[in-house]
A and B are shown apart, each in its own frame.
Chain A
Amino acid sequence: MNGQTGPARPDPDQLLNRLQQEEDRARRGKLKIFFGASPGVGKTYAMLQAARRAREQGVDVVVGLVETHGRQETAALLTGLEQLPLKEVSYRERTLREFDLDAALARRPTLLLVDELAHSNAPGCRHPKRWQDIEELLDAGIDVLTAINVQHLESLNDVVGGLTGIRVWETVTDRLFDQADEVVLVDLPPDELLQRLKEGKVYLPEQAERAVENFFRKGNLIALRELALRRTADRVDDQREHYQQLTGSPLRATREALLVCIGPEPGQEALIRAASRLANKLNSDWHALYVETPALQRLPESRRRLILDTLKLAQDLGAQTATQAADDIAAAIVAYARDHRLNQVVVGRSRPGRWRGWRRALVDQLARLAPELDLLALARPETPQRTGAATGAATDREPAELAALMRPYAMTLAICLATALAATPLLPYFDLANIVMVFLLAVVGVAVRYGRGAAVLAAFVNVAAFDVLFVPPRFSLAVHDVQYLLTFAVMLIVGLVVGQLTARFRYQAHVANAREARARHLYEMARALSGALAVEQVIEIGERGVEASFRVKTRLLLPDERDRLQPLPVQPGKPKIDTAIAQWSFDRNDPAGLGTDTLPGSSVLYLPLKAPLRMRGVLAVAPERHRLVLIPEQRRLLDTFAALIAIALERVHFVTVARDTLVKMESERQRNSLLAALSHDLRTPLTGLIGLTETLALDLAAEESPHQESLAEIREQAVRLALLADNLLDMAKLQTGGIRLRKEWQSLEEVVGSALRLLEQPLRGHPLRLALDPKLPLLQCDGVLMERVLVNLLENATKYAPTGAAIGVTASVEAEQLRVEVWDEGPGLPAGQERALFEKFSRGHAESATPGVGLGLAICQAVVEAHGGRIQAANRTKGGANFAVTLPLETPPSFEIETEGNPALPAPSESHENPS
């Protein structure tokens, strides 16, 4: 069981986990806690000083809430710091002023001060506790400064209560304290604190003055100080170990893991806290288990609710919780411990001499069943205050429930009566020893049908009836023959044994049935979901599945494209949804509402639907009985249903995506074939036209015909028409839904060279100035389209620059970008039109005689932008236009270096291996 006794080496998963936590933490805000032994040590003062220091360093500091308690020196520190206004919450005709979480989230300072970490919020606030507000702030990436006293730490609550005799009800889970990024201990020796108290520098609430005086006794203060110092030292210890673990230093060889068993009696919170402290000290995981036996199942609702509250407390303190239905508590505990590899079992110790309860037997049973487990019987402190509510609640059963409970007994009496009546006529014919069998049969029948209690009743009633009606002297309870006492005893024992067995089997059958039903529902829903092809189907199947498995009403909320949940119309028989809570749950991937830390007052539980890739929606669950969502097993089952629905939603989403992609591909294919056909149809007649004019031109030249000039003009126009068709088709290709770039590694020099060769003719009249950096890296681009850009820019230059004016291309690398400029010494661009130039059909001069439709530059822009680059037009200072294209450079591909001087050159056809 304590299997992990391997070498002292850090577990890689654990390390990874830790690094992941580290990473999460980096994104979260930082929490700094000012920690003190008692009120009055100066936590708020220290916190404000830290805030002022941060502000001097230029940090954006805002005060969310600070309690000065009228102290002058503290209030003085507040001046000059930005303060958030408090939110007014009305509660029972009183107006309470509370910290405004939403305002803080909206303001988003770098550093926020929120005093009194342990404070409980007024009902109606988003979270019941302030520490939950702070968690949300941290999640939002806001750094928080806060303060807390040692007695408010959940795990020390009992200890402090025991030491000082004063209990505080506002507690904070230790997890927050342990996970805080920094804890600053604000320490003050008790004598100085008492001095301050005398001087009236410590705030004392009026009504509690007597209690507080009691509290501030020197002995108490010393004890509290010791606790605070110790707790801080523990934290430092943890940090050291954490550091060692990260740096690979020796680690504890075995890992302890605790299982704390919760009993049905009141006062289990102390046991939970003690276990939590122990687990903390051992730095181990811990589980809390409640085993529900048939007897415990009959506990009144309020008691069962209390047990669930205890489980919730354990969960809040960091335990993993479970309830299990079983007959044998010890066996269930051992099985659970073995399943979860827990090597220490903690149970509460019963007081000696009191009732021989299940505990003592339990420890012995556990020891017998699992000798390998360490057993810890913890002392059970007296905690009458907190549990008062439970003791008086034993009788608060509902009348209907009571009636249901009474029915078996009524039936039992009826059966007994019938038996007696049926047996009476038999008396003359049968021995009494045989007649008693009829009564025994009745007892067995009752036991089988109605369980143990009814069986006992039946045994007594039948014995009495048998005695009175059959055993001489008849019609009296007296018994002449002692041997009938044996008959009575046997009948009673048989009744008890059969009743006990029946009850057990019935219970097991009930549990098995419930499990089977859940498994079946889960299976049915999974099967139905796997066949769903539309979101509506998933919603319908999901809602029906959850409602069939639990006694709940559900609704499924789905987000739109911008991750806002779509509000649903109110439907009769469906729960009313608060979209704001649902959205909160969706955004933060945290359950909210009933039974959670966030707005537990709501009657609906909101479960986020988290699929592998992203959030898919929220499942709102409104149970008929609130208890449902508090039972860990039920919650886990609900989570399983939610996960199934989420995965189904994700699958359906991808089905839609795949279908859309297919449609898109098909339409692209059609577009391409249309463009290809169009291109073919346009070019073919032009080819004929140009070719025929040229052939004709040769004939006319031979004849020295006067029509030669006209023919040359026809050819010229046809060529222009061909160019126009090219441009139009290109533009159509670029415009109609995305260009498919055929990116390859290109050498810019080559692209420029190719463009220049295509324009050999038009460029003839212009001196060409090329300035290409010889060390230009390869560029990943669509070579044909990039050539087109250069051709268009150069062609543009030849159109506008007069014959003889120079045209140039320069290329260089500037800040991870390739910059290519095409310039000319022409008239330049009309001022103010640099941008408009790139618009389709736009041309620099409206009434220009220069041919072209102005599509060229628009094509350039579309191509360059598709490559993630920019194109800009400007006039050169020396006159003329300059078009600059900047393109992002990517890391060039790797090359196998060719080793020089290898004379044995393989023939080309054999050079399959690396050329070297």
Chain B
Amino acid sequence: MKTPLDPRLTVLMVEDERAIRRFVRAALEREGHRVQEAETLQQGLLEAATRQPQLVILDLGLPDGNGIDFIRDLRAWSKTPVLVLSARVEERDKVQALDAGADDYLIKPFGVAELLARVRAVCRRHEGEPGGEAAVSFGTIRVDWAHRQVTRAGEPVHLTPIEFRLLAALLAQPGKVLTHRHLLREVWGPAYVERGHYLRLYMSQLRQKLEADPAQPRHLLTEMGVGYRFSSQ
């Protein structure tokens, strides 16, 4: 991540609950960001068009409509990152939001630290467009794109073509939750989107090869019921 993060962002907050708006605003302003508020979905879309925010924080349960429609509308003309707030029971909503183009989600109730960490991650990802580097490193692992080579603590690790492709798909969007459907489509092709067991098996193989403790992975993280996330930390 080469470009340094611009600390001052314009954030659009679409949330109908005043208390949440208030503490999110306080937390973000403390970091030096500017916060715009919208209470409804319609107002949110209007604000997003006029204010050109660099980040949208969106509550999925809005009184005047479904947050997923908001994302679809927004994605029609903007690449602005979207952070979704959702309640835990709505697994399907989260997957739908991510598939519609949301970048990440936060489960209610969440803390200030968690919120700020996600905001930072989302923005970093969007600031520093990945893909330019010839190699990526995380932990003791180094992936050399040019030579399609993976080493672990300097030792070469053999990956099958599919394992390599899966790793590449995860590394392409660090920190972002990638849904099962997305990964299956990217790695295996559209005919495979319903065959979750392929993904389970290859993730397990990748972890065996790349993680120090496959049962407690540090980089190849599971978002149960949603997908996977690559973390470089």
User: Is B197 part of the binding interface, using a Cβ–Cβ cutoff of 8 Å?
Assistant: yes
Query: When chains A and B are docked, how far (Å) is the Cα of A784 from the Cα of B164?
Result: 27
Closest residue to A672 on the B side, CB-wise? B89
Shortest distance from the beta carbon of A158 to any chain B beta carbon, whole Å: 72
Inter-chain contact B87/A893, CB cutoff 8 Å: no
Inter-chain contact B89/A747, CB cutoff 8 Å: no
Shortest distance from the beta carbon of B84 to any chain A beta carbon, whole Å: 13
Shortest distance from the beta carbon of B117 to any chain A beta carbon, whole Å: 13
Map CB proximity to A onto B195-212 as digits: 1 under 8 Å, 0 otherwise. Answer: 111101101100110000
Inter-chain contact A687/B160, CB cutoff 8 Å: no
Inter-chain contact B197/A892, CB cutoff 8 Å: yes
Given A683-B109, A787-B224, A688 contacting B161 (CB threshold 8 A) = no
User: Is B189 part of the binding interface, using a Cβ–Cβ cutoff of 8 Å?
Assistant: yes
Within 8 A of B (CB), among A635-694: 675-676, 679-680, 683-692, 694
Report B-chain residues with C-beta under 8 Å of the C-beta of A392.
none
Given A675-B89, A691-B109, A722-B109, A753 contacting B222 (CB threshold 8 A) = yes
Contact of B109 among A687, A695, A756 (CB under 8 A): A687
Inter-chain contact B22/A683, CB cutoff 8 Å: no
Within 8 A of A (CB), among B115-168: 115, 148, 160-162, 164-165, 168
Inter-chain contact B200/A690, CB cutoff 8 Å: no
Query: When chains A and B are docked, how far (Å) is the Cα of A680 from the Cα of B66?
Result: 14
Query: When chains A and B are docked, how far (Å) is the Cα of A912 from the Cα of B191?
Result: 7
Inter-chain contact A908/B108, CB cutoff 8 Å: no
Report B-chain residues with C-beta under 8 Å of the C-beta of A750.
200, 203-204, 222
Contact of A684 among B17, B165, B188 (CB under 8 A): B17
Query: When chains A and B are docked, how far (Å) is the Cα of A691 from the Cα of B28?
Result: 12
Inter-chain contact B188/A688, CB cutoff 8 Å: no
Query: When chains A and B are docked, how far (Å) is the Cα of A768 from the Cα of B215?
Result: 11
User: Is A703 part of the binding interface, using a Cβ–Cβ cutoff of 8 Å?
Assistant: no
Contact of A688 among B19, B189, B225 (CB under 8 A): B19
Inter-chain contact B221/A688, CB cutoff 8 Å: no
Given A679-B88, A691-B20, A900-B160, A778 contacting B224 (CB threshold 8 A) = no
Given A778-B201, A908-B165, A908-B187, A695 contacting B26 (CB threshold 8 A) = yes
User: Is B216 part of the binding interface, using a Cβ–Cβ cutoff of 8 Å?
Assistant: yes
Shortest distance from the beta carbon of A35 to any chain B beta carbon, whole Å: 62
Report B-chain residues with C-beta under 8 Å of the C-beta of A783.
224-225
Query: When chains A and B are docked, how far (Å) is the Cα of A756 from the Cα of B211?
Result: 15
Query: When chains A and B are docked, how far (Å) is the Cα of A892 from the Cα of B195?
Result: 12
Inter-chain contact A687/B108, CB cutoff 8 Å: yes
Inter-chain contact A905/B215, CB cutoff 8 Å: no
Inter-chain contact A694/B88, CB cutoff 8 Å: no
Contact of A757 among B87, B89, B214, B216 (CB under 8 A): B216
Query: When chains A and B are docked, how far (Å) is the Cα of A900 from the Cα of B159?
Result: 10
Inter-chain contact B215/A772, CB cutoff 8 Å: yes
User: Is A850 part of the binding interface, using a Cβ–Cβ cutoff of 8 Å?
Assistant: no
Contact of A695 among B27, B161, B164, B216 (CB under 8 A): B27
Inter-chain contact A718/B200, CB cutoff 8 Å: no
Query: When chains A and B are docked, how far (Å) is the Cα of A786 from the Cα of B27?
Result: 35
Of listed B17, B23, B162, B191, residue having the most chain A CB within 10 A: B23
Of listed B187, B213, B224, residue having the most chain A CB within 10 A: B224
Shortest distance from the beta carbon of A843 to any chain B beta carbon, whole Å: 24
Map CB proximity to B onto A896-914 as digits: 1 under 8 Å, 0 otherwise. Answer: 0010101001001101110
Within 8 A of A (CB), among B167-206: 168-169, 186-191, 195-198, 200-201, 203-204
Given A691-B109, A746-B200, A757 contacting B221 (CB threshold 8 A) = yes
Inter-chain contact B189/A676, CB cutoff 8 Å: no
Report A-chain residues with C-beta under 8 Å of the C-beta of B2.
none
Inter-chain contact B198/A895, CB cutoff 8 Å: yes
User: Is B53 part of the binding interface, using a Cβ–Cβ cutoff of 8 Å?
Assistant: no
Closest residue to A893 on the B side, CB-wise? B197
User: Is B65 part of the binding interface, using a Cβ–Cβ cutoff of 8 Å?
Assistant: no
Report A-chain residues with C-beta under 8 Å of the C-beta of B108.
683-684, 686-687
Query: When chains A and B are docked, how far (Å) is the Cα of A892 from the Cα of B197?
Result: 9
Contact of B17 among A688, A905, A915 (CB under 8 A): A688
Within 8 A of B (CB), among A149-202: none
Closest residue to A755 on the B side, CB-wise? B224
Closest residue to A756 on the B side, CB-wise? B216
User: Is B101 part of the binding interface, using a Cβ–Cβ cutoff of 8 Å?
Assistant: no
Contact of A747 among B19, B30, B148, B204 (CB under 8 A): B204
Closest residue to B222 on the A side, CB-wise? A754
Inter-chain contact B188/A911, CB cutoff 8 Å: yes
Report B-chain residues with C-beta under 8 Å of the C-beta of A778.
197, 200-201
Map CB proximity to A onto B13-27 as digits: 1 under 8 Å, 0 otherwise. Answer: 000011110111011
Inter-chain contact A695/B225, CB cutoff 8 Å: no
Report B-chain residues with C-beta under 8 Å of the C-beta of A905.
148, 161, 164-165
Report A-chain residues with C-beta under 8 Å of the C-beta of B89.
675-676, 679, 729, 733
Inter-chain contact A908/B186, CB cutoff 8 Å: yes
Shortest distance from the beta carbon of A445 to any chain B beta carbon, whole Å: 85
Map CB proximity to B onto A689-732 as digits: 1 under 8 Å, 0 otherwise. Answer: 11110110010000000000000000000110010001001000
Query: When chains A and B are docked, how far (Å) is the Cα of A912 from the Cα of B185?
Result: 9
Shortest distance from the beta carbon of B232 to any chain A beta carbon, whole Å: 16
Report A-chain residues with C-beta under 8 Å of the C-beta of B208.
774
User: Is A378 part of the binding interface, using a Cβ–Cβ cutoff of 8 Å?
Assistant: no
Map CB proximity to B onto A759-781 as digits: 1 under 8 Å, 0 otherwise. Answer: 00000000010101010001000
Contact of A718 among B23, B24, B109, B169 (CB under 8 A): B109
User: Is A358 part of the binding interface, using a Cβ–Cβ cutoff of 8 Å?
Assistant: no
Query: When chains A and B are docked, how far (Å) is the Cα of A690 from the Cα of B169?
Result: 36
Closest residue to B214 on the A side, CB-wise? A749
Report B-chain residues with C-beta under 8 Å of the C-beta of A768.
216
Query: When chains A and B are docked, how far (Å) is the Cα of A783 from the Cα of B109?
Result: 22
User: Is A48 part of the binding interface, using a Cβ–Cβ cutoff of 8 Å?
Assistant: no
Closest residue to A685 on the B side, CB-wise? B19
Report A-chain residues with C-beta under 8 Å of the C-beta of B207.
749
Inter-chain contact A770/B164, CB cutoff 8 Å: no
Inter-chain contact B217/A691, CB cutoff 8 Å: no
Closest residue to B113 on the A side, CB-wise? A694
Query: When chains A and B are docked, how far (Å) is the Cα of A778 from the Cα of B91?
Result: 22
- A selection of 26 A-B contacts at a CB cut-off of 8 Å is A679-B87, A680-B87, A685-B19, A687-B109, A691-B20, A691-B23, A692-B19, A694-B23, A742-B225, A747-B203, A750-B222, A751-B222, A757-B221, A770-B215, A778-B197, A787-B225, A893-B195, A895-B198, A895-B201, A898-B161, A900-B160, A905-B161, A908-B169, A911-B188, A915-B187, A915-B188
9 cross-chain pairs, A with B, having the tightest CB-CB distances, nearest first: A688-B19, A691-B23, A745-B197, A784-B225, A687-B109, A694-B112, A912-B189, A683-B108, A754-B222
For the A-B complex with A680-B61, A900-B160 known, give 20 more contacts whose Cβ atoms are closer than 8 Å.
A680-B87, A686-B108, A688-B23, A691-B111, A692-B19, A695-B112, A744-B196, A749-B215, A753-B214, A753-B215, A754-B222, A756-B216, A770-B215, A774-B208, A783-B225, A784-B225, A898-B160, A905-B164, A908-B187, A911-B189
